[in-house]
Structure 1
Amino acid sequence: MSLKKKLGLGLASAALGLALVGGGTYAYFSDTEVTNNTFSAGTLDLAVNPTTIIDVDNIKPGDWMNRSFELENIGSLDISTIELSTDYTVSDAQEDNNEDFGDHIRVNFFWNEDKALAGPLSPDQVAFQTTLSDLQSMSPDTVANNIFLPWFEEEAGLVSGNSDTLYVQFEFVDNGEDQNEFQGDSLELEWTFEAMQTEGESR
């Protein structure tokens, strides 16, 4: 073996030895702890009772129908708003009827008695009224606080485990004119209540 090869081999062996020695100098103490963490989402669950608020037949102009229903928060999260969406279909008994039956059905919403600690101000007091046809383009908050008596008011929304009882009146408005075109008509009303969560908060 030539001198040049012997020197190269010696240098390689020395470098390997230094690497092994150097690697040994990085030893250190260590300790490990493990944490177990959980994220559990709450539930937003709204119940409406009864599920059929009104089912009436044989009505005539001038008739009114008082009904009540309960919105209950059966979830674990508080509800900030419950928006009402309205949709309906009309079956005309007469082919030449161009009038919308929903234009002639007025909806009178009474005060939400659960938003006033003293109870309803008056059993006949109307908080808001509109027709079914106009209500289709609205999304009123059914659990809003709009009684305007701050010393009696409950906060808006619906706390987990609580319920609100709402009173509503449907009226087949007698407009004092010929309404024969509505004889035999029927209207299928669908009300959808959409509950929304409250804002996020530090937990």
Structure 2
Amino acid sequence: MSMKKKLGLGIATAALGISLVGGGTFAYFSDTAETNGTFAAGTLDLNANPTTIIDVENLKPGDWMNRSFTLGNGGSLDISKVLLETSYEVIDAEGGDNAGEDFGEHIRVNFLWNEDKAVLGPWSPDNVVYYTTLAELQSMSPDAVANEIFVPFFEERGGLQSGDSDELHVQFEFVESGGDQNVFQGDSLELQWNFTGYQGEGERR
């Protein structure tokens, strides 16, 4: 074998050796692990029972009506507050404008208390702690399950926990003004109360 062929074969063998050594340098054991996650949003499910809180006829000034209703949380998340929105429509028996008088200004809402948060015993019509007219209530958004609306002494703070419910007592009164209220004879008022429940603040989970 010529010197040139021997030299070429030697170089090729050396290159192969270097290649094998280099490849061995990067050989290592390996393994894999997999993780996954799930994000499931909770639910708010505010319900009222009964849905018709009051339905009365033949009212006269001075009449009052006591009613009860329940707000419940059927969702999986706690409700931190329940805001009350009020709207109504007056239907004038004569088709007029009641001489500029608003029937809603003569219907007063006497909030008694939230029975499930009160600690003062059975509720009574004498225990009126907050009142306003329907007309004034239209511009307000009170929290129906908070302690500041009813009485200040509660075992339970505001809000509705998941699966919980609060029984609320309210008194409606056709206020006797002491003046001429004949413009309201035959009139009717259709009231709508919308309760909106809101979640609490986010928290570390």
**Coarse TM-score class (shorter-chain normalised):** 0.7 to 0.9
Shift in alpha-carbon separation, 1:104–1:40, aligned structure 2, 3 A: same
Amino acid at match of 2:53: I
Match of 2:62 in 1: 62
Aligned match of 1:77:
77
- Please tell me whether the aligned partners of residues 73 and 165 of structure 2 are also in contact (alpha carbons under 8 angstroms): yes
CA drift of 1:120 comes to 4.0
How big is the shift at 1:26?
Answer: 4.4
The yes-or-no answer on 1:185 pairing with 2:187 is: yes
Task: After TM superposition, give the deviation of residue 66 of structure 1 in Å.
Answer: 0.8
Residues 159 and 45 of structure 1: CA distance in aligned 2, closer, same or farther (over 3 Å):
same
Residue identity over aligned pairs, in percent, reads 68
Letter in 2 for 1:141: D
Which residue number corresponds to residue 168 of structure 2? 166
Provide the secondary structure at the position in 2 that maps to 1:181: helix
* Matched residue, 2:152: 148
Cα offsets for 1:128-172 (capped at 9, x unmatched): 1000000000001011023223xx521211111111111111111
- Change in 2 beyond 3 A, CA 1:141/1:77: same
Amino acid paired to 1:155:
R
Query: Following the alignment from structure 1 to structure 2, what is the Cα–Cα distance between the partners of residues 116 and 90?
Result: 34
Deviation of the 1:200 alpha carbon: 1.1
Assess if the C-alpha contact under 8 Å between 2:90 and 2:190 holds in 1.
yes
With normalisation by structure 2, the TM-score equals: 0.82
Q: Are the equivalent residues in 1 in contact too, given 2:83–2:197 (CA < 8 A)?
A: yes
Q: Does 1:130 align with 2:132?
A: yes
Pair 1:122–1:170, CA change in 2 (3 A): closer
* CA RMSD, 1 decimal: 2.3
- Structure 1 residue runs without a partner (length 5+): 1-13
The C-alpha deviation readout for 1:56-90, integer Å capped at 9, x for no partner, is 11111111111010011111111110010000111
Asked if 2 retains the 8 angstrom alpha-carbon contact of 1:111 and 1:120, the reply is no
1:116 CA displacement: 2.3
Which residue of 2 is the match for residue 50 of structure 1? 50
When normalised by structure 1's length, the TM-score is 0.83
Query: What letter matches 1:60 in structure 2?
Result: K
Tell whether the 8 Å contact from 2:113 to 2:170 is kept in structure 1 after alignment: no
Contact 2:45 2:73 in 1 (8 A): yes
1:108 to 102, 107, 110: 110
- Paired AA for residue 88 in structure 2: Y
Aligned mates of 1:84, 1:138 — CA distance in 2: 8
Contact 2:107 2:173 in 1 (8 A): yes
Q: What is the correspondence of 1:28-39 to structure 2 with a 5 Å cutoff?
A: 28-39=28-39
Q: CA deviation at 1:174?
A: 0.8
Distance 1:96 1:76, change over 3 A: closer
Deviation at 1:119, TM superposition (A): 3.4
Paired residues of 1:145 and 1:153 also in contact (CA < 8 A):
no
- 2-structure distance, mates of 1:182, 1:123: 25
Render the CA deviation track for 1:23-56: whole Å, top value 9, x for unaligned: 9464543221111311111111111000000011
